[in-house]
Amino acid sequence: MQARKLTVYSTTSGNAEVPQIRIQGKWLEKIGFQPNSKIIIEEKYGQLIIAKQK
């Protein structure tokens, strides 16, 4: 597995600034994430686990 370094961006929601993470690239298809597929994101402090929905 290859580690990737990304940046957490910000966007606005109403009057508040909120964090935003953008993940894109052909490498996603190579590991099984096809366009329009559904995903599940589990959250733990300091971690996000992203998996294809079964």
Query: Can you give the residue ranges of every domain in the chain?
Result: 9-52
The predicted-structure confidence for 9-52, as pLDDT tens digits, reads as follows 999 999 999 999 999 999 999 999 999 999 999 999 999 999 99
How many alpha carbons lie under 13 Å from residue 32 in its C-beta half-sphere?
Answer: 7
Helix (H) or strand (E) holding 47, with range, is: strand 47-52
**What is the value of pTM for the model shown?**
0.76
Q: Quickly state the pLDDT bin for 54 (edges 50, 70, 90).
A: confident
Q: Quickly state the pLDDT bin for 1 (edges 50, 70, 90).
A: confident
